[in-house]
Amino acid sequence: MKSIKSKIFRSASLIALLIFSISASFAQNSPRAVLDKASATLNGTGVTASFSINVFNGTKLLGSSNGSISIKGNKFYASTSQNIIWFDGKTEWTYVKKNDEVNVSNPTEAQLQSMNPYRFINLYKKGFSLSMSDTKLRGGSAYSVHLKAQNKNSEIQEMYIVVNKSNYQPMSVRMRKGDKQWYSISINNLQDKALNDNIFRFNHKDFPKAEIIDLR
């Protein structure tokens, strides 16, 4: 009798362990867990990357740009052929090269997301329903995480974030504003780099002739 009870207990324990292992596996690969790991790759002393952005209204291309970006937490510095942008976590300075002017503002979440593809670090944590599927990008396996706004009045209604399966680095972001406007952002050459906080603030001494326009 003891032997039978022992076998039953052992079988039950193994089944419980199997169920726990399966549950843990699903939890590790949940959409939120994937984005948690992706955001963790960006929360060190800093990262640099190159990017390209295409803006569409439906299927019509409205504009495109490419450049480089440096990120540390919620701060970033981005440079394109048209603009240079500094953001220190609160204030944004945008230098418009053709006009030799600097626009100073406190940007909205949607504006930040359109300029910084890594803004999803905090964005996904509330206000969105998450789902996920497997995909391929640049010859490798990846997760495609779909974010759907829970509030119909949210500036950002929908996002797709593609994350590399091997290192959890973000590879691309697609974002929808309104009914038809999509921002498609491709990310390349992501590298860890120690960054000084000074690079995220505009220094007027570097652009002494630029006109400062305060939009706050």
> What are the pLDDT digits (tens) for 107-146?
887 677 666 656 665 678 889 999 999 999 998 999 999 9
Domains with residue ranges and CATH for the chain: 27-214 (2.50.20.10)
Model-wide pTM > 0.95: no
Helix (H) or strand (E) holding 9: helix 2-28
Mean pLDDT, residues 26-51: 81
